[in-house]
Amino acid sequence: MPRPYDLITMGRIGVDIYPLRTGVPLAQVDTFAKFLGGSPSNVAVAGARLGLRTAVVTRTGRDPFGGYLREQLREFGVDDRWATEVAAYPTPVTFCELFPPDDFPLYFYRLPKAPDLEIHADELDLDAVRAARIFWVTGTGLSAEPSRTATLAALAARTGGPRTGMVPGAPERRPVTVFDLDWRPMFWAGGDTDTEAPRRYREALALATVAVGNLAECAVATGEHEPYAAARALLDAGVELAVVKQGPEGVLAVHRDGTVAEVPPLPVRVVNGLGAGDAFGGALCHGLLAGWETERVMRYANAAGAIVASRLACSSAMPFPAEVEHALALGEVPDGPEPVLPDGPEPVLPDGPEPGLPDGPDRPGGPHGAGGPDRPGPGLATSSAPTFPTGADA
């Protein structure tokens, strides 16, 4: 039997098209760059950068952009065997505007339907899903059929999987199954007032062991707006570890065994907050698989998110281990250009102290172009000053 994957993610993929200048509205931008995008796909990239064997279950259009995305997955070290084509729909494209430190409107083009919502349950490799050390899904996958049924089927398959999970303190060592709440109202038929979403979220939470979301997303899933109340509600819904992102207040993690970790944000000069939450997710998986205590996992994930917030891109900006350790050793994300990546697995770090071992975030736009508040990651500052603490919601 093939070696199980460390991390399999499932859900959204698309092409991110970013302006190459910050502080300029789209109407005035004349140069762009394209990148691999989509939260679960970025989480798989982030995990791969940290040394995990990763794959993503998703779908693209049968078009040049779809080919580009599969090529990018392979270049980032993510297995693309389950990134299949859909002839009927184009590969999604997302534009953004960059107004640091805290305004990054997104414009989604996912109509008439995104191919990643055409994942069918009978096409899933459930043996691989069961065997994965961590399986990651998002709330967007519940927003439409057949993706909804496929997502719930994959989650259900995990409940009968081997007891090889790495959530510290889990009495039965359940396999780690992460539900990223990922609330994007424009993807649901009822928008902000959709009545189906809370019920579907509860179904997913009952099958997951880890829940990750910001306060707004936790409110959709649980009805609670206060961090500790939201964490307790997530635990009551069935998970073993609740991770609540609190913006400038940092991150709260509460485990069923009674462990509580409150981690402050890491200082950073923000360039682009988009993708910080995905870096946080990949680092979260890395820490859980390493068996670290909860506070150390959160500090490491916070640092990874902050590093991506200091860079222009998302997928290609995901940090390597030495970069995360370097930021933790400094107590902040150093200013300066993005590191030049050599041919080897580690980046060339900026001048400064040697990296040390650690001790221990998007703004939903409307469907097809209406901007709105996004979900930057826990490494996002609310000031451009390099010493301001980070921590906007993801």
147 falls in which pLDDT band (50, 70, 90)? Answer: very high
Integer-rounded Cα Rg, in Å, for the chain is 19
361 falls in which pLDDT band (50, 70, 90)? Answer: very low
Q: What's the confidence (pLDDT) of residue 353? A: 36
What is the residue-averaged pLDDT of the chain? 85
Per-residue model confidence as pLDDT tens digits over 282-318: 999 999 999 999 999 999 999 999 999 999 989 999 9
Paired with 212 in beta bridges are 180, 243
Rounded to 5 degrees, φ, ψ at 161 are -80, 175
Contact 283, 50 (CB under 8 A): yes
The token duo for 222 is 């649980």
1 falls in which pLDDT band (50, 70, 90)? Answer: low
DSSP 264-309: PPPP---S--TTHHHHHHHHHHHHHHHT--HHHHHHHHHHHHHHHH
Q: What's the confidence (pLDDT) of residue 389? A: 33
Per-residue model confidence as pLDDT tens digits over 64-84: 999 999 999 999 999 999 999
Per-residue model confidence as pLDDT tens digits over 10-58: 999 999 999 998 899 999 999 999 999 999 999 999 999 999 999 999 9
Give the residue-averaged pLDDT of 320-349: 71
363 falls in which pLDDT band (50, 70, 90)? Answer: very low
Identity (one letter) of the amino acid at 87?
A: A
Residue 185, CA distances (Å) to 111, 144, 146, 176, 241 in order:
15, 12, 18, 27, 25
Q: What's the confidence (pLDDT) of residue 174? A: 79
Q: What's the confidence (pLDDT) of residue 221? A: 97
Give the residue-averaged pLDDT of 217-226: 96
What's the predicted TM-score (pTM) here? Answer: 0.85
The DSSP code for 41 is H
Is the per-residue pLDDT at 374 higher than 80? no
Residue 213, CA distances (Å) to 101, 139, 359, 360 in order:
21, 10, 24, 21
- Can you tell me whether residue 227 is helix, strand or coil? helix
Higher local confidence (pLDDT), 281 or 349: 281
Per-residue model confidence as pLDDT tens digits over 105-120: 999 999 999 999 999 9
Is the per-residue pLDDT at 276 higher than 90? yes
Describe the crossing of helices 227-237 and 196-205 by its angle, rounded to 10 degrees: 70
- Residues in contact with 390: Cβ distance below 8 Å, sequence separation at least 6, in sequence order: 248, 265, 266, 267, 268, 270, 302, 305, 306, 309, 333, 378, 379, 380, 381
Is the per-residue pLDDT at 369 higher than 80? no
Higher local confidence (pLDDT), 343 or 94: 94
Q: What's the confidence (pLDDT) of residue 49? A: 98
Give the residue-averaged pLDDT of 206-224: 97
Q: What's the confidence (pLDDT) of residue 248? A: 75
Per-residue model confidence as pLDDT tens digits over 167-200: 555 445 679 999 999 999 999 999 999 999 999 9
Give the closest residue to 255 by CA, choosing from 226, 308, 292.
Answer: 292
